Structures are given as C-alpha cells and as structure tokens.
Structure 1
C-alpha cells in the first residue's frame, strides 16, 4: 500500500472510518466508554463490503491503537499513584483485582495476552501489572501480541459477516450481533469458572 493511498484514505471525507477506528479503539482502551470490539468488527465488515476501507489497514490501525491504549493504562497504573489506580480501576471488583494479582506470580505475560481477549479482563490485568511493577521489557511484547490477537479475532467476525452478506448495513448488524454473542458466552464461561472455584475453596 503506497503512502498516497494511505494519506487519501485517512483524509478523504468518505473514508473517515480510519481515524474513527483508531481514535475509538485508543480511547476505549484507556477509558472503557467505547465498545472497541464491535467498532473493529464493523470496520472489518465495511472493508469487506465496500471499497472505503482496506482490511489490512483496519487490522494495523486497530492493533496499534489497542497496544498504545494498553500501554497508557499500564503506565497510569504504575506511575500515577493510588488516585490514578482507583480512576483506572473504577467499576472493577476488588476480589477480581486481587485474583489477577495472584495469577501474575505464576503466569506473567500469559495473563496479559488472555486478559486482552477476555471481556472485562484487560483493565484488572493492566492494573495488577502496574501495581506489581511488571517489567516493561516483558509487558511491551506481550501487550503487542495481545493487541494483534484481539484485532484478528474481532476483525474475523466482521470478515465473516461481510463475506456472507454483500449489503454493508446487514453485514454491520450481523458483525455487531456476533460480537455480542461472543461476549455473552465468554462472560457466562468466566462466571461459571469463578463460581466453581469459589465452591471448591468453600468446600476445602
């Protein structure tokens, strides 16, 4: 892809999806007010059904934005002090944060990758990593790998819907529905695992 194509795709008023995608994923990775997964899936569906977006650039921008957002969140948790940690971790359960901190001791970088892929798992992981002063040399490659896997996973949902439906509106709706289903199933699985773990600890 040439520089000219990239520049025109970024500045063309008919292709505002690139800055919206990058800015939305970056913002949502720092302040979880933007549903980054559905945003990426919709962009991938549009790329598959129109010529306004390129799927390769969608993947690249989403990966970079997610990676930068996670690094910013980690830096806030590590250097921002107790007030900053409370701001980043607002809405998170204290027991969940303590559970993730314990997992870091045994698993390290794997937790960074898994936390990015699980719904509501990213922030507790990054807060725990910051509180434990997890080394930058380990966090950065793990976080980039996690962002890339996350981008591929959610883009695939958009690619699938875009490959089945030629209409961009229908493909977008289907991609959003697939993301919601995946999130619901993941939450149910995680909830059952926590309940099973609590039951084992109670019985012992």
Structure 2
C-alpha cells in the first residue's frame, strides 16, 4: 500500500507540474497510472482519478495565479501567448458561460492554456475560477483514467496497456492540434 501511495504522490506531482509546464503529457500519465491500477488493484482507479484531478487543479491554480500576476508580458515571455486573435472569442465565451468553457478547455489538448489566459486577462474572479475549475479537473482526470482502463482491459500485460493508452492519448492530441491548425489557417485565408 505504501508503494501505491508513493505512486499516487508522484502522479499528483507530475500532473501539477505538467499543468504549469504545458509540455508534460499529463493525460498520458493519468492513463498509464489507471492501466497499472486496473491490473494490480482495480479499486485504486478511484485514487488515480483523485490524484490526477488534484494535481491538475493545483497546477491550474498556480498557472492562473501566474497569468493574473504576470499578465500579457509574462504570457509572451513564456510563449504561452501565441495567437492573440484566438483570445478575443474565448473572452466572449467566458463572459457568457464560464463553467462549460473551462470544462471543454480541460478536455481539448491545447485548449486549457488559451482559456486560462483569456480568463486571467478578462479578470475572472478567483472565487469563480476556483469553483468552475474543480469539475473540469475531475472530469478531465476521469476521462483519461477511462482511456487507461480501456487500454488495460484490452491487453493482458500492464505494460502493453500503458503503451497503448499513452499512444492513444498522444495520437488524439496530435489529431486535435492538426485540426486546430487547419481551422486557424482556413480562418486566416
């Protein structure tokens, strides 16, 4: 049980770090941990979801604080702000419906950072962000754990399920990025 708690602590740390440094494949980490939980102790999947959600939530809070404090200058310096035109419609959507926009942004690869920036630049209150981001992180973690459980149930060996889950997460992420780039190119043309 101690090794499982250590693994959950590492999952929390990796996801929190990945939420702040958006190049870490946090979804793949949750999926991989869910595969291992599925093969070793299926009841631990609930704790994997909780650790992933908590890590995502803490990381998002830190990143939101950085966006609020540092503003557009920090976002440009850290290369978070690449497409300023994309922020305008996000700000409009956030003004209309904050919780659904945060939910969707957490689920779409590459969608979270622009929404966090738009929310920070819009001046979304801390209270609203703290409340609205909680279900987004929980849903995100459950979805990626579900991908891991699916991979784990298909393959007999845990390592095969981990590789399949990570590959699936990376393929989905790349597919979404390609679609987003094509949409952006089409809207500019």
TM-score (norm 2): 0.87
Secondary structure in 2 aligned to 1:120? Answer: coil
**Gapped regions of structure 1 (runs ≥ 5):** 11-15, 200-204
Q: 1:142 to 1:84 in 2, by over 3 A?
A: same
- Return the offset for 1:98: 3.1
- The correspondence for 2:83, drawn from 72, 78, 93, is 93
| Mapped pair 1:181 → 2:171 | yes
Aligned partner of 1:50 in structure 2 is: 40
- Return the offset for 1:91: 5.8
Q: 1:89 to 1:129 in 2, by over 3 A?
A: farther
| Mapped pair 1:31 → 2:21 | yes
| Mapped pair 1:9 → 2:4 | yes
- The correspondence for 1:134, drawn from 124, 144, 163, is 124
Alignment coverage as a number of residue pairs:
189
Mapped partners of 1:115, 1:87: distance in 2: 22
- Whether contact under 8 Å (1:43, 1:53) holds in the other structure is no
Residues 125-183 of structure 1, C-alpha deviations (whole Å, 9 max, x = no match): 11111111102222112101100110011111100011121201111111112112322
- Whether contact under 8 Å (2:76, 2:82) holds in the other structure is no
Aligned partner of 1:102 in structure 2 is: 92
- Whether contact under 8 Å (1:100, 1:128) holds in the other structure is yes
Residues 23-78 of structure 1, C-alpha deviations (whole Å, 9 max, x = no match): 11000001113110111111111111224982111110100110111111111111
**Gapped regions of structure 2 (runs ≥ 5):** none
Larger Rg: 1
Aligned partner of 1:172 in structure 2 is: 162
- Whether contact under 8 Å (1:88, 1:127) holds in the other structure is no
